[in-house]
Structure 1
């Protein structure tokens, strides 16, 4: 199977409107389509992410009796959070065959238009949920019947996001999961941090062919790693989503205006160019840990000073 494009990140919420309002005001996302689909048991909104080429953000919520999303929320204490990553594949039937051969259960979407599966080695339990569609269809959430929608009023400055950079997943062994994604879906390893660079973690980043979005894998190192604690609670789930901002001071001013604190700020310089990053806690974003970064010159934030990824 080959994933050739990431279409969107899907976030689930009991009610989409408050979450969409937050994404419009603080993140500067633009509402473009909305839908209600009783057949899929969903209602939701699709939003454009500034600077992202073909990648969007979708907020989905239960709709109608017996909605699978309501069951999902019930299983997660009613909490909003990241639900799935929407992707396009070249051959949906081939995807099903490949997943079954690897012992991964694939669930049909409405009318067989898409498949839903956890794309992680099954012996490690559920990982990040992917929704995949083949050529010729647009529906992944009931949104094939979406109608145009306009964004609501803005209140103050937004973060100044210029792109969705990557999705990060936690896993005990970065090389094991990277090989899995490379063999299963054609992800390409790009770079890794040296094993001893950070006391509590090491990471590896992969490109998704056809997408501007990358895939980061972080694994724990040392005693009492934050990744180890996350793994104990959540398994191979998505850890965070990262956005680039155009101006760091502007982004921090927007957070202050909207009463949104940040934490874990870092700053440094690579090849003489400055960079900064920080996180926003999930309780301020609707259940998703968000990382923001700014770089003075393209490619200097955690890239040009890292060693290339290699299996040798």
Structure 2
């Protein structure tokens, strides 16, 4: 199966207007399209992510009497959060065949237009939900028959995001999942930490061919790992989404301006170039754990000397 572009990250909420305002105000996202599709059970807003060519963020809320979005929220205790990652494939039926040959059965979609499935190994239980569509089709959530969203002026300083960098998934064995994604969709491993670099985790990063968005896999190690606890609650779910910011101090000032605390800050220097990263808790983002990073020079936050050697 070939993926040639990540289109958007989909988030669900019961309060569409408040979530869109938060993404405009703090994150600096720009609404570009809105829709209401009662027949499909969904209304939503598509927002452009600053600096990310062709990447968007979609916020989905229930609409109509029989809404799958409402069913999803009910199944998750009403909690908002990340719903899916949307990608384009050159041949939708070939993608379906590739999934089914590996025991992955699509769980939703519209024949000939888009399909929905977890791409994780099925024996490990449901993982991150992907929505796959053919080229140029915006019909996955009803946003092909939409009204243009009215862009509002900026509501104070924003984070200064310049890129959607990666999505992170928790999994018990990082190499097992890396091999799976490489076989399924050609993901290429580009970075990994040594097994013993961190006391409670190890990770690796995969490039998604055709996309500037990467895929991180984190696995637990040692006793009482936070990833083990996350896995016990959520299984092979998305752990966080990471954005790059242009100016660290300005991003932190924006958080303070909007009464948004951060936690888990790290800083360092690689070959004389500084880098920093931190997290924003899901309760301040509408249900998604967000990581922010800044680097003085490209490539110093994710070390190029940790690219795995050729087999």
Which 4+ runs in 1 deviate beyond 6 A? none
Gaps of 5+ in 2: none
Deviation at residue 81 of structure 1 after TM alignment: 0.2
CA distance in 1, matches of 2:187, 2:196: 25
Say what the alpha-carbon RMSD is for the aligned residues: 1.2
CA contact (8 A) 2:26 2:254 kept: yes
CA distance in 2, matches of 1:146, 1:187: 33
CA distance in 2, matches of 1:144, 1:108: 18
Deviation at residue 15 of structure 1 after TM alignment: 2.2
* SS class of match (2:98): helix
Partner of 1:175: 175
* SS class of match (1:145): coil
CA contact (8 A) 2:279 2:291 kept: yes
* SS class of match (1:74): helix
* Bigger Cα displacement from structure 2, 150-159 vs 163-172: 150-159
Deviation at residue 136 of structure 1 after TM alignment: 4.7
List per-residue Cα deviations over 1:49-89 (Å, max 9, x = no partner): 00001111000111111111110000001111000000001
Partner of 2:88: 88
| 1:1-312 equivalent positions in 2, closer than 5 A | 1-110=1-110, 112-304=112-304, 306-310=305-309, 312=311
CA distance in 2, matches of 1:167, 1:104: 21
List per-residue Cα deviations over 1:160-207 (Å, max 9, x = no partner): 111100000000111110111111011111111111111111111011
CA 1:310–1:170 in 2, change beyond 3 Å: closer, same or farther?
farther
* SS class of match (1:230): helix
CA 1:157–1:168 in 2, change beyond 3 Å: closer, same or farther?
same
CA contact (8 A) 2:93 2:112 kept: no
* SS class of match (1:137): coil
CA contact (8 A) 1:35 1:45 kept: yes
* Bigger Cα displacement from structure 2, 113-122 vs 138-147: 138-147
The TM-score with structure 1 as length reference comes to 0.97
Aligned residues: 311
CA contact (8 A) 2:108 2:117 kept: no
CA distance in 2, matches of 1:179, 1:309: 13
List per-residue Cα deviations over 1:230-274 (Å, max 9, x = no partner): 000000000000000011110000000100000000000011100
CA distance in 2, matches of 1:136, 1:24: 26
Deviation at residue 310 of structure 1 after TM alignment: 5.0
Deviation at residue 41 of structure 1 after TM alignment: 1.3
* SS class of match (1:229): helix
Deviation at residue 102 of structure 1 after TM alignment: 1.3
CA contact (8 A) 2:6 2:211 kept: yes
* SS class of match (1:138): coil
